[in-house]
Structure 1
Amino acid sequence: MEREDWTLVEDHLYLSGILSVNSQQTLLKLNIKKVLTVDIKPIERKPPVDDYMFIRVNDHWDEDLISYFEPTYEFIKEGQITGRNVIVHCVGGVSRSATIVIAYLMNKYKWSYLKTFRYLEKKRSIIDPNYGFKEQLKLFEEMGFKINTSNKTYRNLLLKNLSYKLRYNAPWRSFVTDEDENPIESYFNKLRISKPSTDGCKCGYKCKKCRHLIFLDLNVVRENNDTVLIEPLESLKVTLLQSHSGSLNCPHCCTKLGSFNWNDVKEENKLLGKAIPVLKISCKKIDRSLIDC
């Protein structure tokens, strides 16, 4: 007899581990029409369902799951609205898939993270999102249940995740065709989820030679007397994709502005105790000025 590891969360929504999804008998029994996999790889045999969605995420505290809260919400919502049963799963139905279901319920009912966690825990006592995912759920609540790419905490989270991805992307692979396999492409795609608001921006940084605007204070991670450490910029993406280190030139006049090295783990390149991939811009090469946002 097949072991059952599924939980009915509410009408048309189930949460489970991999065992239930690998059992065609269980899928037929529950009348599952949509499957959402949150794992490092899709299930080996495509299930006999109408819709299948795969989110590539490891169960690691530096992983980014919050960027997928909105598309997974739409996937689950469509199933509930049309009366087609949805099952969300990872390996054990404990951390990754539980996080997705919590985010869905938070968004649907506008509940706090704590209220939603307690609600789901009563349904499935084994749920236990890892520390990083819990923090992302709290951030999702703070952002009003939608992704705000102007939020510095969210941007810092993406930077930490990029660092995590780059550490496991050796040897260096440039121009990987699958954006999910290319951490830099994936990073920029996530920042395109919504157009960043310039509300709160006070300064712009221009190339001293040609006066071209290079970045805003929104992009600054840390600044000292000699160097400005900034996030990776899409305007410099071609350079960043070619190597793990190199020079950074103004995209307008090609003047050298600074350098980058993804393997640099100096203390000055750390955010919240973690080494992060930042661009080093020389203060001698740029001018800072107030901008009208």
Structure 2
Amino acid sequence: MLLVDPGLYIGTVADLNDSQGLAAAAVTHILSVDSVDPAPLVPADGNFRRKWVNVLDEVSSDLLSHMDDCFRFIQEAVDGGGAALVHCQAGRSRSATIITSYLMKKHQLSFTEASLRLKAAKPDVQVNSGFEEQLCLYEALHCEVDTSSPLYKQYRLSKIIEKRALFRGSSVLSHSVGGGGAQAFGYRKSSNCSGDVQCTSYFIEPVQWMEPALVGVMDGQCSSKLGSFSWCGDRCSCGSWVTPAFQLHHNRVDEIRQINIQK
């Protein structure tokens, strides 16, 4: 457990077993940033205020949404004359992210400045790239998570896309509208279908989430039928025969296009 700022320590889950160390540091608040609740490890003889943020150390995990709440929790300890211990499993990524955001907000530092200050106290911190991007966004939001901000809305949308994307434009297979015969069995990768006739389905390459499906193409989370598949091929609404046919109906999926938001 290392002191980073007055009343603020960074540590690992092992530090929870150090009753003497916690008492010597006057720790009153324990902030756990981990996928497992460490409550059983917290000394029973200590009267600690606890907060648990259930987050995996993965690039796709969301810590930005918790930064303001964590700041208030840490500041509560400092203002009360105590100290806060922020820990994860190894004390290198998740806890380091929260502490960096705290330093940014409290001392009005940039992400780079706060990161350097933390590394001066604990050189082995290694925040994953996803959390680094969130800290940069936190700086752009002036260290205040404003849910009405276009920047924050775009961030939340990106998280939804990461979790729920069925396929990307690069997986779409184009075909000759109204084509037939031998030419209908050829295809090439493209992001758009050609021609004036409107196709009512996407034909795509097989993707991993389709693997459990035996009849129809089922979404793995909501179990809704999104289309159909046939290794022998199927006919598009435009009249073209596509082989193999992994077909998703336009009216069963939403198309999300990336837009540039001016800062």
> How high is the TM-score relative to the length of structure 1?
0.55
Write the deviation string for residues 134-193 of structure 1: whole angstroms up to 9, x where unpaired.
1111111111111122334433332343455569xxxxxxxxxxxxxxxxxxxxxxxxxx
Write the deviation string for residues 96-116 of structure 1: whole angstroms up to 9, x where unpaired.
000100101101111111111
CA contact under 8 A between 1:34 and 1:50: conserved in structure 2? yes
Q: Does 1:259 align with 2:252?
A: yes
- 2:170 matched residue in structure 1: none
Q: Which runs of 5+ in 1 are unaligned?
A: 1-5, 168-225, 228-241, 248-256, 262-267, 273-293
CA contact under 8 A between 2:16 and 2:41: conserved in structure 1? no
- 2:144 matched residue in structure 1: 146
Write the deviation string for residues 39-70 of structure 1: whole angstroms up to 9, x where unpaired.
00110415223300000111111111000010
- 1:34 matched residue in structure 2: 29
- 2:127 matched residue in structure 1: 129
Shift of the alpha carbon at 1:25? 3.2
Shift of the alpha carbon at 1:259? 3.2
Write the deviation string for residues 182-228 of structure 1: whole angstroms up to 9, x where unpaired.
xxxxxxxxxxxxxxxxxxxxxxxxxxxxxxxxxxxxxxxxxxxx89x
- 1:61 matched residue in structure 2: 59
- 2:40 matched residue in structure 1: 45
**Distance in 2 separating the partners of 1:143 and 1:94:** 24
Q: Kindly provide the amino acid, as one letter, of the partner of residue 155 in structure 1.
A: K
CA contact under 8 A between 1:32 and 1:49: conserved in structure 2? no
Q: Could you say what the CA RMSD is over the residues aligned between the two structures, in angstroms? A: 3.2
Distance of aligned partners of 1:244 and 1:135 in 2 relative to their CA distance in 1, 3 Å threshold: farther
How many residues are paired up? 184
CA contact under 8 A between 2:31 and 2:51: conserved in structure 1? yes
CA contact under 8 A between 1:9 and 1:123: conserved in structure 2? yes
Write the deviation string for residues 61-82 of structure 1: whole angstroms up to 9, x where unpaired.
1111000010000000111011
- 2:243 matched residue in structure 1: none
**Distance in 1 separating the partners of 2:105 and 2:66:** 13
Distance of aligned partners of 1:161 and 1:244 in 2 relative to their CA distance in 1, 3 Å threshold: farther
> How high is the TM-score relative to the length of structure 2?
0.61
CA contact under 8 A between 1:246 and 1:260: conserved in structure 2? no
